[in-house]
């Protein structure tokens, strides 16, 4: 639709509201405001209007501010514990140094609207202006209680940099990437890093574009507190009951919890099985030396493991690697003396094994050398030596609850 048609018919520019639900309360906790244009019986998204570089910023700002005003007029007396997400790209946010937008919000504050209910969903994709001025403006808005959310952008490295600079209240994760089988693995790795970072800075993860049940399960499993998408509820002109999805979400979460419990039980059962198996072998061969120990382990673990070695409590490798190459086991002496204490959780697991005197089955991770998804079983041989056995993806795949 032509921009002039919209600008000459602002009466039919209206806000739509997409519900956002919480994991902890299983209820609606916010709405994201979306711009729509009513053309006869048709409702048209204004996304293309705001993304069109040919339309001057002042026109976009006029339409955007109108949508915000209409939205806030509608929600001002609507349940005070519901937040309002307002999308702002950096160019519109910096329009006239951000003052007109803030003044409009303060007008509603005078009418009784608490600005703590506002969440600015900021995108600085392709922003050509001064990033320091943008950050200064966002910090200024936050002094009024306004929260800041940022969404995934094209450059992952830039995204992490922006998170560090802004320390946003909410990180939005777009689940469209889950549809791509090629990008799925990388997406999982990035998401894991994001979840750790969010925890460190005290940010909440919001997963958007949830269109299927497995995406909701993925969001729940990966630390998502807030969810939105057509699978839950599409954008609508009217508000819905807060507890509209409570029963459905409780059922879904119960299914997710049961599934994860079964997987965790499988991990603990497997760890206990490996502990008994390895403990017996180690006790029988503890005075025989590494080579004799590995010969027995290879016979017992040939269809389970692909690498074995022994380290001391500081992470220095005491033995060579015993590595499965195709169907044969080879000795890699070049690994003797290497130190692995720099690996995440290494020293923590050493202390845990020393204190609890039992083996540990690691979480899933990508092996540095093979690139395969694996787990490692670690076993305390004595007070100073620890055996590490890398479990093959083939074995994990055959025991799918370990994946």
Query: Which one has a higher pLDDT value, 132 or 272?
Result: 272
* pLDDT band (50, 70, 90) for residue 155: very low
CB of 246 within 8 A of CB of 26? Answer: yes
Domains and CATH numbers, the chain: 3-237 (3.20.20.450), 259-402 (3.30.450.20)
**Could you read off the pLDDT of 303-334 as tens digits, one per residue?**
999 999 999 999 999 999 999 999 999 999 99
CB of 37 within 8 A of CB of 13? Answer: yes
CB of 378 within 8 A of CB of 372? Answer: no
CB of 139 within 8 A of CB of 111? Answer: no
Strands 118-123 and 365-366: unpaired
| pLDDT tops 50 at residue 181 | no
Q: Is 364 helix (H, G, I), strand (E, B) or coil?
A: coil
CB atoms inside a 10 Å sphere around CB 254:
10
| Phi, psi for 228 (deg, rounded to 5) | -150, 155
Q: Whole-angstrom distance between the N-terminal and C-terminal Cα of the chain?
A: 49
The residue with tokens 């501010």 is 65
**Could you read off the pLDDT of 13-64 as tens digits, one per residue?**
999 999 999 999 999 999 999 999 998 889 999 999 998 888 998 999 999 9
Give how far Cα 153 sits from Cα of 34, 89, 110, 127, Å: 19, 12, 35, 12
What contacts 363, CB < 8 A, 6 or more positions away?
A: 375
Per the prediction, the chain carries an average pLDDT of 91
Measured CA to CA, the distance from residue 22 to residue 297 in angstroms comes to: 48
Burial class from Cβ neighbours inside 10 Å (0-12, 13-18, 19+) for residue 329 reads buried
Measured CA to CA, the distance from residue 212 to residue 222 in angstroms comes to: 16
Find the helix or strand (DSSP H, E) in which 328 lies. Answer: strand 328-332
| pLDDT tops 80 at residue 78 | no
């Amino acid at each position: 639709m032509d921009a002039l048609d919209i600008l000459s018919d602002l009466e039919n520019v209206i806000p739509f509201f997409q519900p956002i639900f919480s994991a902890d309360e299983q209820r609606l906790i916010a709405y994201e405001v979306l711009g729509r244009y009513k053309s006869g019986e048709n409702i048209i998204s204004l996304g293309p209007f705001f993304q069109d570089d040919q339309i001057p910023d002042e026109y976009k700002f006029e339409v955007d501010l109108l949508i915000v005003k209409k939205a806030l007029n509608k929600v001002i007396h609507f349940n005070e514990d519901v937040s309002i997400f307002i999308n702002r790209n950096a160019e519109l946010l910096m329009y006239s140094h951000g003052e007109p937008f803030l003044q409009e919000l303060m007008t509603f504050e005078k009418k009784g609207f608490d600005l703590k209910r506002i969440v600015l969903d900021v995108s600085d994709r392709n922003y050509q202006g001064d990033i320091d001025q943008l950050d200064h403006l966002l910090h200024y808005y936050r002094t009024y209680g306004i929260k800041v959310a940022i969404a995934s952008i094209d450059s992952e490295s830039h995204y992490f940099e922006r998170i560090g600079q802004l320390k946003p209240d909410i990180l939005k994760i777009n689940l469209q990437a889950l549809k791509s089988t090629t990008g799925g693995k990388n997406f999982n790795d990035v998401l894991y890093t994001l979840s750790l970072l969010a925890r460190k800075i005290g940010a909440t993860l919001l997963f958007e574009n949830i269109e299927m049940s497995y995406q909701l399960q993925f969001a729940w499993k990966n630390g998502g507190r807030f969810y939105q998408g057509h699978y839950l509820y599409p954008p609508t002109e009217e508000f819905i009951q807060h507890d509209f999805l409570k029963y459905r979400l409780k059922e879904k979460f119960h299914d997710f919890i049961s599934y994860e419990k079964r997987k965790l039980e499988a991990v603990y059962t497997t760890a206990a099985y490996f502990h008994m198996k390895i403990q017996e072998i180690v006790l029988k061969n503890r005075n025989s030396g590494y080579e004799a120990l590995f010969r027995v382990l290879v016979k017992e673990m040939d269809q389970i493991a692909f690498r074995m070695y022994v380290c001391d409590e500081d992470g220095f490798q005491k033995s060579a690697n015993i590595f499965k190459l195709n169907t044969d086991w080879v000795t890699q002496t070049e690994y003797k003396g290497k130190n692995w204490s720099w690996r995440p959780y290494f020293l923590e697991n050493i202390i845990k094994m020393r204190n609890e005197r039992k083996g540990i089955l690691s979480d899933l991770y990508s092996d540095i050398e093979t690139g395969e998804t694996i787990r490692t079983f670690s076993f305390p041989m004595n007070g100073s030596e620890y055996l590490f056995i890398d479990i093959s993806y083939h074995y994990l795949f055959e025991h799918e609850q370990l994946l």
